[in-house]
Amino acid sequence: MVTNTDIQDLGHFINGQTVLGKSGQFSDVYNPSTGTVIARVPLATKQEVQEAIAAAQAAFPAWRALSVGKRAEIILRFRQLITENIDELIDMICTESGKTIEDAKGEITRGLESVDLAINAPHLLKGEYSVNVGGHINAYSLKEPLGIVAAISPFNFPVMVPLAITSMAVAVGNCVILKPSERVPCSALFLSELWKEAGLPDGVWTVINGDKDAVNELLCHPAIEAISFVGSTPVAEAIYATASKHGKRVTALGGGKNNMVVMPDADLEHVANAFLGAAYGAASQRCMALSTIIPVGEDTANKLVGILADKIAKLKVGPYTDAEVDFGPVITQQSKDAIIGYINRSLEEGATLVCDGRNPEISKQSNGFYLGPTLLDHVKPGMEIYEQEVFGPARNVVRVASLEEAIALINAHELGNGVTIFTNNGAAARKFTTEIEVGMVGVNVPIPIPVGYHNFGGWKRSRFGEGHMFGPDQVRFFTKAKTISEKWIEQGNDVTSSFAFPSNQD
């Protein structure tokens, strides 16, 4: 683990090599558990981004021409290297993001699902073939890589999201430029070394570190064919607008306000346990974290809040080196201050405090960015903490009288990432899954994240563009279709001109 006395100057990974930044501009990388600076990451200039793109352009023809089977072999070796180096990767994730060891391991496991799907690219790239569609013509289709694609990943999943939004792009023959969050660059640079060791040709994989100047160059450069982004909704919308204006294919995934509806027939002890991990895991810094629990009926709400209050009081916050902690710090001091602001304003707006996490005991002993779990009751639509995505451990209780009211409430919100219902009533579950306007839905599943071979993506302002973060749609997103009509003329046959529009009647 990097200690607070080892402030390391990081670089970029361009054309198969780690290179130092040229701008002279750096961003500090913190260990959120201690509040100390552990590294400095360079902020790339426009020229550096252009150099990275040029290296990718040079590598593309050979990578595209390589057999898909050989590409799959390299990806399989990359997967093996991740598992062989998983302890080092876990330590890196925990150090730069503050996650617990268990959470970091789970992130890597989920990321490997995307790598597994990419290994199956030879099957997923198969086209279609039709014999004698008319006039002794055979027609077939194939999928070709786009060329150079860019991926922009967030701080909350330093490994899973980069793997999810790049693995298939590499497998189908593209060259990829990853711009990771400047808050967690170490994991992305480590993945670069594993790609190199796996045998990926230089230039096929690039990591360029930077801020919005680097991002803007990726969004506007004519050589970049597609952009895949994961982050907040305002940034996702801006990414989509800019990249689309420059003719790029875009998938931009934004935030979520994910709800858990609790029916009166549900086992409330089970509900409470499910809510804790889904709501507070990773300090609630997940786009699929449960932000609001919606009990149906006052009796259900009163019982559930009592159970939650008792369980939340027992949660432990601390550094990942303590095996007993349930979750760690938020990513920065600025994030901590913003979350406290949300809590304070919600109380001014009329919410009631069930559990107060603003001053956890560990904050007295550490400079880390710690917040304890907060639960607010009697939150109502229109309150800031209900409307906005709060990326931290401040969760809400919204009381409703019926399932219909819960559905209407959720459907009225501008975000539609994930939602779940807890019930033992099949009719209620069917009504909910049919009528709810959300992209990923769970029934008695607290975090309904699809496995890597299903599509991940929300609805409404949780997703801009038509692609998905992982799943089979990634093959379509990172390729372009070509359809070929082919006819061979036998020697000696007369060929005459025809001025009729071609048809399949011959």
Q: What is the mean pLDDT of each run of 10 residues along the chain (506 residues)?
A: 66 96 94 96 96 98 96 97 97 97 96 95 91 89 96 96 96 98 97 98 98 96 97 95 96 93 97 96 93 97 98 96 95 96 97 95 92 97 95 97 98 94 97 96 91 82 86 91 90 71 67
Give the count of domains, the chain: 2
Q: What is the distance between the alpha carbons of residues 224 and 27, in angstroms, rounded to a whole number?
A: 25
At 326 the pLDDT is: 96
DSSP E strand boundaries for 15-136: 17-20, 26-31, 36-42, 129-134
Tell me, yes or no, whether 494 lies in a domain: no
Sheet with 8-9: list strands edge to edge. 8-9, 36-42, 26-31
Tell me, yes or no, whether 397 lies in a domain: yes
At 321 the pLDDT is: 94
The residue whose two tokens read 């559990």 is: 355
Strand partners, 228: 151, 251
DSSP H or E segment with residue 260: strand 258-262
Q: What is the distance between the alpha carbons of residues 337 and 370, in angstroms, rounded to a whole number?
A: 10
Do residues 479 and 415 share a domain?
no
Q: What is the distance between the alpha carbons of residues 95 and 101, in angstroms, rounded to a whole number?
A: 10
Q: What is the distance, to the nearest Å, from the Cα of residue 273 to the centroid of all Cα atoms in its chain?
A: 25
Do residues 229 and 282 share a domain?
no
Do 121 and 174 touch, CB atoms closer than 8 A?
no
Tell me, yes or no, whether 495 lies in a domain: no
Do residues 225 and 242 share a domain?
yes
Active site residue 287: yes
Closest CA to 240 of 475, 462, 480: 462
Tell me, yes or no, whether 316 lies in a domain: yes
Give the up-direction half-sphere exposure of residue 18: CA atoms within 13 A in the CB hemisphere. 16
DSSP H or E segment with residue 44: none
The domain that contains 156 carries what CATH number?
3.40.605.10
At 504 the pLDDT is: 66
At 355 the pLDDT is: 97
Phi, psi of 459 (to 5 degrees): -115, 175
At 506 the pLDDT is: 58
Burial of 35 (0-12, 13-18, 19+ CB in 10 A): middle
The parent domain of residue 247 ranges over 8-254+462-483
Q: What is the distance between the alpha carbons of residues 197 and 208, in angstroms, rounded to a whole number?
A: 19
Domain boundary among 443, 475, 499: 443
List 94, 175, 186, 287, catalytic entry: 287
Do residues 324 and 223 share a domain?
no
Do residues 37 and 179 share a domain?
yes
Do residues 385 and 473 share a domain?
no
Do residues 312 and 193 share a domain?
no
Do residues 289 and 209 share a domain?
no
Closest CA to 485 of 125, 143, 141: 141
pTM to 2 decimal places: 0.92
Handedness of CA 471, 165, 193, 97 (dihedral sign): negative
